């Protein structure tokens, strides 16, 4: 007969935190949200070789994680996993695009030859949205630099569009330039002194290497938590599957990826172990690989011990666009899954001294649930819907019934057709049934603004819990289950809510 787990499958909303003693040092300004991503052995005195500055990563999904999301998230200290449901070349190109963004130094993405026309420049501006263009001998981003064109150099309505850009551009001899090797600070001083918005950086042959924009420097100074690699390029992750990893992983590594994640709805499999071990054998321990998803202790131990993964992702069936539980009857309430896996992780740590970070993936529908996930032992969280709602997700805005929305679809939906994520090694081609839906989510603002609010709440709760680090927070956390009645009590009660009942203009 089947084994029945007595414990009911529970979700985050069924729990509340009981505050602990807040000491004077427990102030928001002292809180660190750094979170390890790579496993480390404390007995050997190791530290994690890769950590996030905020405990947030975006899901490896077509409607969530493109290069724009990756740059925005790295700027805030988190990491995006560029989706794998695309060709190897396209995914590697997206990774390379993110890596071209050094904090402050960017590869020029809008370039023309001197004989291109003003009409070409207008078309390029429409495509890239950028009005500063480098003019190089061959029109490439690393060609010999000849000049710079901005929208201040021409009048779109009056100037003859067939004239070549060489007649409008500021020629090289009149441009303030710098050599490769200059620091960001020095570059900014030059921009400031020259009253310029953009500084081209050239190599010794006069070829363009990058551009420094004043606005990026300001951004950089305002984002002390940027997540970068040793060369100060933005960090980026990528989803991979258990089918084509022998070709996909080399291409992603070549493009400069920082973290790989085996993306599968059910990761408790030989396929995941074989893929992880192949990567380890081919590239050694310096490549960071996560995997999952799992919902119980045995599966965690399998991935930690046998597949030697760096981090393990927890969650099956909880995603906002997910219909796996309905379609296949597999999954587990996210809180129960996370607690079961965290318990096994802690046991493994006690036995071996090896700490394996956990990522709670899917189903986080508000800031409180994120807080509870961290309290229950997640080192960081992965979210799809949360980031799909921001301006930086790769989908277009649409107006529906007076509101502004963006499309958001599951990787297991017909639209994504990411059959690798769902048919792990089963040998069956294509998808016979969907495990995700095609939906819309409201647009809420840019990544920075939504994160600012969530992070402020997390830090405030950490102070309530007498904790200054995410680990301390989980170690100090005391949680209580709540009844349906106390859940109701938690909302407003016996008052007329201004929001719901009284028109704003009364």
Question: Can you give the binding site for ligand IMP, defined by CB under 6 A?
Answer: 59, 61, 265, 319-322, 324, 361-364, 382-386, 410-413, 435-436
Cβ distance to ligand IMP smaller for residue 84 or 110: 84
Catalytic member of 261, 322, 359, 463: 322
The HSE-up count of residue 307 (CA atoms within 13 Å, CB side) is 30
Rounded to an integer, what distance in angstroms lies between the CA atom of residue 76 and that of residue 286? 24
**Closest approach of Cβ 231 to ligand IMP, in Å?**
29
- In the block, residue with structure tokens 């495509």: 127
- Spell out the residues 6+ positions from residue 339 whose beta carbon is closer than 8 angstroms to its own: 376, 377
**Closest approach of Cβ 411 to ligand IMP, in Å?**
4
What value does the CA radius of gyration of the chain take, rounded to a whole number of Å? 25
Give buried/exposed letters for 83-106 (b at 16+ CB in 10 A, else e).
bbbbebeebbebbbbbbbbbbbbb
Cβ distance to ligand IMP smaller for residue 258 or 411: 411
Nearest of 375, 339, 380 to residue 465 by alpha carbon: 375
Rounded to an integer, what distance in angstroms lies between the CA atom of residue 190 and that of residue 192? 5
Rounded to an integer, what distance in angstroms lies between the CA atom of residue 110 and that of residue 124? 7
**Closest approach of Cβ 414 to ligand IMP, in Å?**
10
Cβ distance to ligand IMP smaller for residue 111 or 369: 369
Cβ distance to ligand IMP smaller for residue 413 or 467: 413
**Closest approach of Cβ 362 to ligand IMP, in Å?**
4
Catalytic member of 39, 233, 301, 421: 421
Distances (CA, A) of 175 to 179, 199, 247, 329: 13, 8, 43, 64
Question: Would you state the structure tokens that stand for residue 225, as one six-digit string?
Answer: 């938590």
Rounded to an integer, what distance in angstroms lies between the CA atom of residue 199 and that of residue 187? 7
Q: Which helix (H) or strand (E) holds 404?
A: strand 403-409
Nearest of 377, 347, 276, 355 to residue 39 by alpha carbon: 355
Cβ distance to ligand IMP smaller for residue 77 or 362: 362
Question: Would you state the structure tokens that stand for residue 501, as one six-digit string?
Answer: 């009942």
Rounded to an integer, what distance in angstroms lies between the CA atom of residue 2 and that of residue 153? 75
**Has 322 been annotated as catalytic?**
yes
| Sheet containing strand 178-179, strands side by side | 105-106, 208-213, 198-202, 178-179
Q: Which residue number is nearest to ligand IMP in terms of Cβ? A: 436
Rounded to an integer, what distance in angstroms lies between the CA atom of residue 63 and that of residue 71? 16
Rounded to an integer, what distance in angstroms lies between the CA atom of residue 410 and that of residue 384? 9
Among positive and negative, which fits the CA dihedral 287, 58, 264, 257? negative
Q: Which helix (H) or strand (E) holds 374?
A: helix 367-375
Cβ distance to ligand IMP smaller for residue 104 or 267: 267
Cβ distance to ligand IMP smaller for residue 309 or 364: 364
Contact of 419 with 431, CB cutoff 8 Å? yes
Cis peptide upstream of residue 223 (ω within 30 degrees of 0): no
Cβ distance to ligand IMP smaller for residue 453 or 488: 453
**Has 463 been annotated as catalytic?**
no
Q: Which residues are catalytic?
A: 322, 421
């Amino acid at each position: 007969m089947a084994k029945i787990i007595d414990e009911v499958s529970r979700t985050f909303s069924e729990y509340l935190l009981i505050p602990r003693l807040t000491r004077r040092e427990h102030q928001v300004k002292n809180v660190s949200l750094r979170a390890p991503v790579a496993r480390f052995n404390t007995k050997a005195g190791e530290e994690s070789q890769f950590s996030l500055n905020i405990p947030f990563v975006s899901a490896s999904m077509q409607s969530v994680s493109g290069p724009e999301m990756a740059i925005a998230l790295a700027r805030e200290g988190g990491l995006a996993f560029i989706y794998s449901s695309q060709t190897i070349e396209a995914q590697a190109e997206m990774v390379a695009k993110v890596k071209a963004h050094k904090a402050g130094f960017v590869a020029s993405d809008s370039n023309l030859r001197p004989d291109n026309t003003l009409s070409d420049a207008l078309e390029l501006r429409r495509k890239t949205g950028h009005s500063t263009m480098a003019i190089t001998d061959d029109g490439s981003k690393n060609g010999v630099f000849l000049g710079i064109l901005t929208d201040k150099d021409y009048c779109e309505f009056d100037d003859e569009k067939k004239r070549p850009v060489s007649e409008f551009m500021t020629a090289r001899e009149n441009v303030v330039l710098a050599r490769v090797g200059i620091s960001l600070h020095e570059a900014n001083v030059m921009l400031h002194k020259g009253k310029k918005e953009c500084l081209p950086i050239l190599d010794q042959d006069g070829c363009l290497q990058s551009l420094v924009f004043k606005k990026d420097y300001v951004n950089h100074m305002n984002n002390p938590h940027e997540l970068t690699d040793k060369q100060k390029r933005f960090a980026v992750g990528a989803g991979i599957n258990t089918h084509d990893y022998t070709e996909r992983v080399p291409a992603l590594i070549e493009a400069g990826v920082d973290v790989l994640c085996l993306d599968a709805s059910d990761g408790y499999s030989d396929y995941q172990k074989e893929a992880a071990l192949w990567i380890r054998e081919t590239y050694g321990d310096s490549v960071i690989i996560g995997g999952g998803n799992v919902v119980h202790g045995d599966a965690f131990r399998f991935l930690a011990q046998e597949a030697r993964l760096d981090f393990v992702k927890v969650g099956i069936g909880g995603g906002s666009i997910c219909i796996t539980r309905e379609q296949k009857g597999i999954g587990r309430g996210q809180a129960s899954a996370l607690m079961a896996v965290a318990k096994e992780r802690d046991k493994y740590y006690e036995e071996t001294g090896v700490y394996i970070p956990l990522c709670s993936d899917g189903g986080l529908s508000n800031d409180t649930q994120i807080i509870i996930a961290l309290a229950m032992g997640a080192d960081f969280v992965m979210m799809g819907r949360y980031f799909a709602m921001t301006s930086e997700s790769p989908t277009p805005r649409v107006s529906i019934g007076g509101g502004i929305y963006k499309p958001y679809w599951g990787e297991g939906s017909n639209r994504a057709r990411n059959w690798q994520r769902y048919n792990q090694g089963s040998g069956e081609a294509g998808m016979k049934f969907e495990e995700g839906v095609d939906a819309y989510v409201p647009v809420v603002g840019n990544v920075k603004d939504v994160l600012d609010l969530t992070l402020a709440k997390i830090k405030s709760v950490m102070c309530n819990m007498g904790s200054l680090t995410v680990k301390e927070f989980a170690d100090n956390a005391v949680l209580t289950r709540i009844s349906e009645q106390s859940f109701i009590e938690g909302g407003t009660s016996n008052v007329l809510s201004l929001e719901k009942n009284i028109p704003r203009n009364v």
